[in-house]
Structure 1
């Protein structure tokens, strides 16, 4: 990766502005007769142009396909015959070879049998108890505008609680899931993708009165192996038994816009709407996939891990 392709360089190019100033005359006789030189007038005035996160992502995607950027964080190019011949050497603990290939080729994958359903049902019961006990906090109130002036507090309606896998106060089934995410799942992903930062865990609750989360992305696309600020992998476990299409709350993965660099590359052009079924796990590249939670008509829970 060249310096010109780094995330920092691409952001600076997006923020750069030019001002068209008239040429200073070569001959002083061309100056107005009442012109008086003031050295302070030569000071350049820095222009600050506000750019939303959406605008920045759009610019970055136009410069370089975000999937191409994220694929550079994989240890191997998984869409080659050579890589496929060595699939038996991957020694994955819980993921399938196909799920890893899909993650590389399309930026996301879905698995429905990673965790024991009885354990997942136990997590749901524990989450219901947390709602009854008032443990959840509206996500829009977690940070104030003073702490994060660019935060759109109106973009989401969920309530959340942050989880710590080392805490002794975790409920037993939640602890089992955290151990799985922090153990076998992280090990598999770290064997394929360069991960060198911490993992964040969050349990989210969507109330049944059309709670939603608008279109967003979990990180900026980066291929810097030393970066620990940007999330790289998003993994979501759904905790919703008896889901039907009338319940709402589906996860919507947005297809690549038509003006994405390289025509979107391996990114799907079409949108995907994924029902949040009990035990379903969706994994995607955090800096690649735009996604949203559609309005929920029934209580909806999800446990998410963000790996850096």
Structure 2
């Protein structure tokens, strides 16, 4: 079976999918170590909201991020290669016209989260598939920090809560699924990003 089959089937069927086996735990451990190294070196900045004129609203978005450039680290190479192949598989199945991908590290401090939103800026549609890879070892339900997905046509109704377990991969349709990050009770690490139909420069 193609390693992407189940993710693609569920993404097509319900607009979201989760896998605990798609990504190697070795990749997760290497990426976490790289993220922590960058964090210790002061390379992260506060996540912002908006497009064009961006603002810091920590009460809305509480993460700190660092964009990952293609080829910038040995640890990121297997993940980027896997995502390129996943993007190509989606294009082959559905003719989605996905041309690029972008990813950043995200770190939420204790007590922080991200209020409900959709991953499409108003008036744009180039973000097609949202990707989150969790990097947290030994995460427990008591630690909180779930990704909460909401019903597309009833955005006040919860659809699914996803614990940010290490090496867990979550994917969903960017312009369809409202979602939020619930407050975490200890630092929460992930890689987040999008498969896009344009070639972004700079990150939008």
TM-score, structure 1 normalization: 0.57
Structure 1 partner of 2:76: 174
Instruction: Tell me if the contact between 2:125 and 2:175 (Cα under 8 Å) persists in the aligned partners.
Output: no
Figure out how many residues of one structure are paired with residues of the other and give that number. Answer: 193
SS of the residue corresponding to residue 13 of structure 2 reads helix
Instruction: Tell me if the contact between 2:108 and 2:188 (Cα under 8 Å) persists in the aligned partners.
Output: yes
- Of Structure 1 and Structure 2, which has the larger fraction of its residues in helix? 1
CA distance in 2 between partners of 1:279 and 1:100 (Å)? 18
CA distance in 2 between partners of 1:248 and 1:271 (Å)? 17
Structure 1 partner of 2:126: 230
The answer to whether residue 31 in structure 2 is matched with residue 128 in structure 1 is no
1:257 Cα deviation (Å)? 4.2
Q: Which runs of 5+ in 2 are unaligned?
A: 197-204
Structure 2 partner of 1:278: 166
CA distance in 1 between partners of 2:73 and 2:180 (Å)? 28
Q: Find the partner of 1:191 among 81, 92, 99.
A: 92
SS of the residue corresponding to residue 298 of structure 1 reads coil
1:132-180 CA-to-partner distances (Å, cap 9, x unmatched) read: 111110113x88x9x427x572410100111121x4xx23212221222
1:118-138 CA-to-partner distances (Å, cap 9, x unmatched) read: 121111111111111111101
Q: RMSD in angstroms over aligned alpha carbons? A: 2.6
The answer to whether residue 189 in structure 2 is matched with residue 301 in structure 1 is yes
Structure 1 partner of 2:27: 119
Instruction: Tell me if the contact between 2:20 and 2:169 (Cα under 8 Å) persists in the aligned partners.
Output: yes
Q: Which runs of 5+ in 1 are unaligned?
A: 1-90, 223-227, 261-268
Structure 2 partner of 1:254: 150
1:220 Cα deviation (Å)? 6.3
Which of these two proteins has the greater Rg computed from alpha carbons?
Answer: 1
**Matches of residues 144-155 of structure 1 in structure 2 within 5 Å?**
147-148=52-53, 153=57, 154-155=59-60
Instruction: Tell me if the contact between 2:148 and 2:158 (Cα under 8 Å) persists in the aligned partners.
Output: no
The answer to whether residue 4 in structure 2 is matched with residue 95 in structure 1 is yes
TM-score, structure 2 normalization: 0.84
Instruction: Tell me if the contact between 1:195 and 1:232 (Cα under 8 Å) persists in the aligned partners.
Output: no
Between 1 and 2, higher relative CO (CA 8 Å, sep ≥ 6) is seen in: 2
